[in-house]
Structure 1
Amino acid sequence: MRDACLRDASIRHCAGMKIREPIPGAPLPVDQPSIKQSIVHHLAHTRMRDQYRASASDVFHAVARAVRDRIADRWLGSTKSQWDDGKKRVYYLSMEYLPGRLLRDAVLNLGIESEVRGALTELGLSYDDVLETEADPGLGNGGLGRLASCFLDSMATLGIAGTGYGIRYDYGMFRQAIVGGAQVEEPDTWLLHGSPWETSRTETTYTVRYEGRVEPRVDPTGRTFYAWVDTQDVIAEAHDIPVPGYRNGVVNTLRLWSPRPVQEFDLALFNAGDHFGSVHKRNVAENISRVLYPNDSGPPGKELRLRQEYFFVSASLQDAVTRHLARWGSLDDLPEKCVFQLNDTHPALAVAEMMRLLMDEHLFTWERAWSITKRAFAYTNHTLMPEALETWPVHMLDRLLPRQLDIIREIDRRLGIEIAQGHDEQAQARMAIIERGPQPNVRMANLSIVGSFSVNGVSALHTQLLRERMFPELDKFFPGKFKNETNGVTPRRWIQQCNPELAKLITEVVGSDAWVTDLEKLRELEKHAGDSAFLERFRAIKRDNKAKLAAFLEKEHGFRCDPSSIFDIQIKRIHEYKRQLLNVLHVIHRYQRIKAGEKPEAPRTVIFGGKAASAYDMAKRIIHLINHVAKTINEDPEAREHLRVFFVPNYRVSYAERLIPAADLSEQISTAGWEASGTGNMKFAMNGAVTIGTLDGANIEIADAVGEDNILIFGMTAEQVIQRVRAGYQPWQLYESDTRLRAVIDGISHGAFSRDEPGRFRPVAQSLLDNDRFLLLGDFASYVETQQRAEQLFRDVPRWTRMSLLNVARMGRFSSDNTIRGYAKDIWGVL
């Protein structure tokens, strides 16, 4: 029996030995002297360093382990109590997580920050310096991974028995370097010095199979079953990271899988002189977890992605089934005892894999297995882009996962029978899991919808568009299945941790830190919206955050900016629909007006950050353009006192924690109808930034919450976008009719920002004139006018400060605690 499934936490089986002492024993004390003693202990006995040879990394590891020791007591206790209570469990399956640095998060959630800080001070060390030593875990990229981490935090804080499942990536997605203004991808060596947070469960392993062939066989009772044979196998090994709740003694688990080969090393080949061949199988296996989202522009990259997705799905389901059987003894009640939440389509193969496990490993009939499967899974959709809905070629699945493809075909066949009545051929084709045609693909979103009892969008508009535009037939065929659960973010990290002075002010107003777990209490701030003295205190916090960011950017990157200028920030994954390019067009327009002698009403510092996927050429061109525009403006003495531009390299969570509290203006400018939700918009508003944005995603709900006077909305609505495209959108006409727009496009095309190579950015400009799929030119005039209004408001200091305060005060509904309560009540049935 696996260690994770032991019934009695006080007796641990180890190679036939039994430990008959209670584990854990008495909890470790959390007073300052005890924490200091633990730090010294780990420096000496874990890192084996004295005061003369301890490096910054040694100190960080010692402090982290001292904190983790105190988490461990609660972790073991939570595991045992959840086992004993028999609570329904939530298994959260996500291809990525973006937790950010973990030390301060753990310290704050345990409530021991003053003790840790004091212990380090006694040792002559700086708590803040230790925090800066930690590397951001390379487990995610953008909003999908950050949302997953917020959700795990909220599940633990709400006392929900939850486990996150994912992959332990060796080199993250990539480390972004900017060379000559262009993005260059380098390995993210986040594990270079190891991670003090993870526990390797070398005894918790599962076999994950690929390729091979499927043979029908008959058991002694005459029942036909299917054997998947001659497979190429990989071993999945568990690595656990604790997820502590906020001061409630609950610690959940993020379990990450790492691959290793069945045969680590072929000694015979090595001795024969084939040194590379002797480790070939190891390299093939370990490639599965090398990087997040490998370049999939060619067949090898696509195949690796498919291997990744199945690897973590198979290991996770095997683990969950093993746990369930050890606790309950039967799989018939699986849907009553646990629920599997699919975070987007990456884990969609879980539907087919669960069917395989139930039928092939546990000998369930199809009907019995399908009844369990479709009641055990829930699916969250995160995109409105048809091309972002994953599909896999049937021929690739047939080669790599033949048994799963057989199961998917049968699900699709049975669905076809059900939908034959009442749907024409076109509707049936849209509803089908497997596309019709000579080279069909499997639609993973359709598989997720059919194989789940619940499907949810992540904002009101997103869910509406899913039902009306993306999957109208499936929505009608499965009445009540589609729901909305608007995204949220954890206030622990996104106010308390990243903006401690604001957190102190909120605590003073509320009278306690109860707002940290009940964010609606931010409403208390609204009572002070007319108090000029209070507004000055609030404004001083923003001013101080901006000064700190300015100092950091100068120290780390040599970029100088005026803290009194508008800090206009857009930080998110680089994608055409997110319209960083629209922001650049406005920056160029402002620059041209300055050069023409028109001085702006307020100086502005425009900051960009985000990574482009390695195979996404246009997104990388946009980064290149941003940096060349920045160079031109920042080196122009006439312009730089009014306008400065900076692209933050290798944007990550720890950078977001500096940028968001300092922002005056939050850029949320996606084409209406394309952003599912967004969470950066929530983080900025919680920290007092005023949003300039379209009526897209969660911007609509933020506008409803903060009030139309406290947000800057521009551009077309989602419905207007559709109407404009249907009517025949003509970007050339806009270019010809708007002299401002023509000057901006011509500047890009004719080399104003690339004098060494005048045609470098012509493809960017031409893409706008030829197609402009995301209607940048259509929204340009409205965007420019709204940016001008933002400047005017910013100069009205009392009004702007009041707008900023009301944004903070009215963001209570966007706590991820509220979101998880919604999932728990409406979908999971665990609260």
Structure 2
Amino acid sequence: MIREELLAITNNNIEEASLDALYQAVLSVTQKRIENMEHVHGDRTVYYMSAEFLIGKLLSNNMMNLGIYHEIAQTLKEHGRDISEVEGYDPEPSLGNGGLGRLAACFLDSIATLGINGEGLGLVYHFGLFKQVFENHMQVETKDVWLDKPSWLRKTDTVYSFKLSDVNVTSRMHEIDVLGYRGKKTTLRLFDLDSIDETLVTQGIDFDQSKVDSNLTLFLYPDDSTEQGLRLRFAQQYFMTMSNVSYIFDKHHDDIDHLYQSVVVQINDTHPAMSILLVIQRLMKHGKSFDEACSDVQKMFAYTNHTILAEALEKWPLSYFEAMDHELVVIIKKLQKKVDAVSKDPAVAILDKDKRVHMASLSIHFSYSTNGVASLHTDILVNSELKAFADLYPDRFNNKTNGITFRRWLQFSNPELTQYLIDKIGDGFLSEATQLRAFEAFKDDARVQEDVLRIKQERKDDLVSYIKKTEGIDVNPTSVFDIQIKRLHEYKRQQLNLLYIIHMMHEIREGHLPKRPVTFFFGSKAAPAYTIAKDIIHALLTLSSIIEKDPVVSQYLQIVFVENYNVSKAEHLIPAGDISEQISLASKEASGTGNMKLMLNGALTLGTLDGANVEIADLVGPENVFIFGKHSDTVIDLYATSGYNARHYYETNDNIKRAIDTLVSEEMLKEGTHENLSRLHHELISKDWFMTLLDFDDYVETKNRMLDAYEDRLHWAKMMIVNISNAGYFSSDRTIAQYADEIWKVNHE
């Protein structure tokens, strides 16, 4: 049937069809089947509100979930065409940045898979966060253009008009189908500014930030390093939440008197928190009293906290709300009076003494659930960062450890391993991920160990070819693949990995040669205004060039910083990883999800006891994970007592001093830029807010021990098998089932 459809669309000429025509044919066949799928339904609708939905390329994922991927691939192969060329042509929606957005995408997949009546609500971004380009060892930001080709985004006739301060704007809804695994489908509803003007962006990512009625949806997270940028980001959040709330009230116009019975809104971090104010406003306009509206909202909203970093908890000047809509100021002040009746503690205030509105406080007070995203993260929230709230509302706090769409990161990204697992334990794990545990029975089987190593090497060979094709870099396929792919932030400590590589470079120059070469893969973007993060990228790219030019060191070390890291590149990197770098400062990473994807594909974790690393270590046992670094309790105490002094480590540890001073050595300065390297050098010595130097010695010792362990190939394979077998817990299906049962109170399959 599929073969006949493809032949009919291409006029019986698959062999000579243009790539665009072939893509359109495969797209048409796939979309036809999607149209006939049942949409999720139920008595109560879950709206998952998020500023990001990093859904990745959809064609392959949709074909996989429909169960037609292999039939289409075989048909194309019979006519001399490779499905990979069609997959490569499929545009990648630039709708997110990191883990927050990827998690939202995984959750929608699981909502559809489990048949939950839920939808995603967010925004269209014409140029995404930005496209990363490296020039002169620097990150340069350009437009990430993805809407120039036919995509899965459908324009609708649903529009909402409202004011942004004194500017009239129109919001138009677009839709993307999200398919569950051989089940039902749901819809991601994204709103765009009807009057958007892409021509405002002329060079790089700069544009006139004052033209709100023309620029609101150009970029995800507009640069907020200026007052104008801050106001634009605030306006973008207002536009998103106003559009989302308008849609909800439009769809449920017959249920407004008891809206909380028909609707639950899960806000993914605080970006959508303004929707709480807007729903109160709408309910009051419908005739509800203020107290009734507040009561309804508290039964309708649930909040996911994604951060322990105080600076990441959004606070907006009250004047911004005043400029947008005076009614919101009145509501905020009345909400603060309600809070005062419960507690006078400034720590729980919505409106503080500086007239700033705390969006996390708003989200906690006027919702019925606040959840963390890993057991350690939730413990820290309850016992430390949000203790004042947890003492007020002990029954509202709960944990929902994050999960991943394991089918995408296994079945699609690593089909060889998937087929091998099916041959050994059957295919039940594709629907119920915890059935992977059956594979652990083979951990001592030498033949299986050899097979697992063979499959890993095949994935490494694939990555080598991919890197050569996309980056123009030759990589040693027999080296250890050490992978750190995540947003560039000091708390994630890419700078610790940087210092280790510098240390190893010096050790090699002194004749201490490693048993096997190591290739260090990085993939990450730094926010445009995040100066130190960009300095870390510069240092890594500069060091990469120095190592490449060293005839001795280059035989043992290589840095590959993948340009413009995204989901498509992750699908090649993750199956090939040997070492999964999860080295954030303990107590600072909420969860992490890259750790789960790499574990699922047989990489071993090198990490601190932070985020979901704690649960990974519990599942696989201490003998199958490599843990280093100070405990979160110690770190929290050091912050509380100002007990960490970076300069002390620099002045008393020769290896640390040598590594840091290399940043401003003649060799580095000749290859790199003085301003960036000296600024990073000074930062590490004088501040080092995320305590890189605290864990340096333990990191070096543990990583070297891990590299030694790699040489016992069969024992390493045994550890791989244990990790793969226990990764099923981290399925987003499990996470969403817990949300459904414990927070949303809705049925699922």
Q: Displacement, 1:643?
A: 0.8
CA pair 510-263 structure 1, distance change in 2 beyond 3 A: closer
The DSSP-based 3-state class of the residue aligned with 2:668 is coil
Alignment match, 1:206: 160
Q: Which amino acid aligns with 1:429?
A: P
Alignment match, 2:713: 797
Q: Which amino acid aligns with 1:813?
A: Y
Relative to the length of structure 2, the TM-score reads 0.95
Mapped contact 1:240–1:256 kept (Cα < 8 A): yes
Alignment match, 1:665: 579
Alignment match, 2:191: 257
Q: Displacement, 1:688?
A: 0.2
- Provide the rounded CA distance (Å) in 1 between the counterparts of 2:672 and 2:715: 46
Mapped contact 2:167–2:213 kept (Cα < 8 A): no
The DSSP-based 3-state class of the residue aligned with 1:383 is coil
Match of residue 434, structure 1, among 329, 334, 351: 351
Moved more, 731-740 or 610-619: 731-740
Q: Displacement, 1:500?
A: 0.5
- Provide the rounded CA distance (Å) in 2 between the counterparts of 1:147 and 1:354: 25
Q: Displacement, 1:282?
A: 13
Q: Is 1:112 aligned with 2:68?
A: yes
Mapped contact 2:740–2:746 kept (Cα < 8 A): yes
Alignment match, 1:5: none
Alignment match, 1:144: 100
Alignment match, 2:283: 358
- Provide the rounded CA distance (Å) in 2 between the counterparts of 1:134 and 1:305: 30
The DSSP-based 3-state class of the residue aligned with 1:332 is helix
Mapped contact 1:391–1:444 kept (Cα < 8 A): yes
Spell out the pairing of 1:24-103 with structure 2 (5 A cutoff): 31-37=1-7, 39-40=9-10, 55-74=18-37, 77-78=38-39, 82=41, 86-103=42-59
Alignment match, 2:739: 823
Alignment match, 2:239: 311
Match of residue 680, structure 1, among 560, 584, 594: 594
The DSSP-based 3-state class of the residue aligned with 2:223 is coil
- Provide the rounded CA distance (Å) in 2 between the counterparts of 1:353 and 1:106: 35
- Provide the rounded CA distance (Å) in 2 between the counterparts of 1:681 and 1:51: 41
- Provide the rounded CA distance (Å) in 1 between the counterparts of 2:177 and 2:462: 31
Q: Is 1:480 aligned with 2:395?
A: yes
Q: Is 1:323 aligned with 2:239?
A: no
Q: Which amino acid aligns with 1:463?
A: T
After superposition, the C-alpha distances for 1:409-452 in whole angstroms (9 at most, x for unaligned) are: 211122112224xxxxxxx2111101113xx2100000000111
Q: Displacement, 1:629?
A: 0.5
Mapped contact 1:314–1:350 kept (Cα < 8 A): yes
Please list every run of at least 4 consecutive aligned residues from structure 1 whose deviation after the TM superposition is greater than 4 angstroms.
Answer: 50-54, 261-264, 280-283
Q: Displacement, 1:534?
A: 1.1
Alignment match, 1:408: 332
- Provide the rounded CA distance (Å) in 1 between the counterparts of 2:211 and 2:322: 24
- Provide the rounded CA distance (Å) in 1 between the counterparts of 2:689 and 2:350: 28
The DSSP-based 3-state class of the residue aligned with 2:56 is coil
After superposition, the C-alpha distances for 1:133-173 in whole angstroms (9 at most, x for unaligned) are: 12211100000000000000000000001110111111111
Mapped contact 1:32–1:118 kept (Cα < 8 A): no
The DSSP-based 3-state class of the residue aligned with 1:754 is helix
Spell out the pairing of 1:291-306 with structure 2 (5 A cutoff): 291-306=219-234
Q: Percent identity?
A: 39
Q: Which amino acid aligns with 1:234?
A: V
Q: Displacement, 1:121?
A: 2.9
Spell out the pairing of 1:181-192 with structure 2 (5 A cutoff): 181-192=137-148
After superposition, the C-alpha distances for 1:738-762 in whole angstroms (9 at most, x for unaligned) are: 2111111111123432215673411
Q: Is 1:457 aligned with 2:392?
A: no
- Provide the rounded CA distance (Å) in 1 between the counterparts of 2:520 and 2:372: 32
Mapped contact 1:467–1:475 kept (Cα < 8 A): yes
Q: Is 1:133 aligned with 2:113?
A: no
Mapped contact 1:579–1:669 kept (Cα < 8 A): yes
After superposition, the C-alpha distances for 1:305-351 in whole angstroms (9 at most, x for unaligned) are: 111111111111111122122xxx23232222221000000000010
Q: Displacement, 1:395?
A: 1.2
Alignment match, 2:465: 551
Spell out the pairing of 1:333-732 with structure 2 (5 A cutoff): 333-360=258-285, 362-420=286-344, 428-437=345-354, 440-511=355-426, 513-725=427-639, 726=641, 728-732=643-647
- Provide the rounded CA distance (Å) in 2 between the counterparts of 1:671 and 1:235: 44
Mapped contact 1:751–1:759 kept (Cα < 8 A): no
The DSSP-based 3-state class of the residue aligned with 1:183 is strand
The structure that has the greater radius of gyration is 1
Mapped contact 1:138–1:190 kept (Cα < 8 A): yes
Q: Displacement, 1:262?
A: 12
CA RMSD of aligned residues (A): 2.0
Q: Which amino acid aligns with 2:622?
A: E
Q: Displacement, 1:476?
A: 1.1
Alignment match, 1:15: none
After superposition, the C-alpha distances for 1:80-135 in whole angstroms (9 at most, x for unaligned) are: xx2xxx42111000001111110010001000112211332344321111111122
Alignment match, 1:175: 131
- Provide the rounded CA distance (Å) in 2 between the counterparts of 1:402 and 1:108: 50
CA pair 663-544 structure 1, distance change in 2 beyond 3 A: same
Alignment match, 2:203: none
Q: Displacement, 1:39?
A: 4.1
The DSSP-based 3-state class of the residue aligned with 2:39 is helix
- Provide the rounded CA distance (Å) in 1 between the counterparts of 2:638 and 2:233: 37
Q: Which amino acid aligns with 2:527?
A: A
Alignment match, 1:424: none
User: Structure 2: any 5+ residue segments left out of the alignment?
Assistant: 199-207
- Provide the rounded CA distance (Å) in 2 between the counterparts of 1:292 and 1:544: 36
CA pair 340-305 structure 1, distance change in 2 beyond 3 A: same
The DSSP-based 3-state class of the residue aligned with 1:548 is helix
Mapped contact 2:131–2:143 kept (Cα < 8 A): yes
After superposition, the C-alpha distances for 1:480-528 in whole angstroms (9 at most, x for unaligned) are: 10110000001111111101101101111222x2211211111111111
Mapped contact 2:482–2:580 kept (Cα < 8 A): yes
Q: Is 1:163 aligned with 2:119?
A: yes
Spell out the pairing of 1:740-755 with structure 2 (5 A cutoff): 740-755=655-670
- Provide the rounded CA distance (Å) in 2 between the counterparts of 1:601 and 1:124: 44
The DSSP-based 3-state class of the residue aligned with 2:555 is coil
The DSSP-based 3-state class of the residue aligned with 2:610 is coil
Moved more, 732-741 or 582-591: 732-741
Mapped contact 1:343–1:381 kept (Cα < 8 A): yes
Alignment match, 1:785: 701
Moved more, 576-585 or 759-768: 759-768
Mapped contact 1:713–1:786 kept (Cα < 8 A): yes
Mapped contact 1:567–1:606 kept (Cα < 8 A): yes
Mapped contact 1:208–1:315 kept (Cα < 8 A): no
- Provide the rounded CA distance (Å) in 1 between the counterparts of 2:603 and 2:669: 33
Q: Which amino acid aligns with 2:447?
A: A
Q: Which amino acid aligns with 1:296?
A: D
- Provide the rounded CA distance (Å) in 1 between the counterparts of 2:259 and 2:245: 12
Mapped contact 1:155–1:820 kept (Cα < 8 A): yes
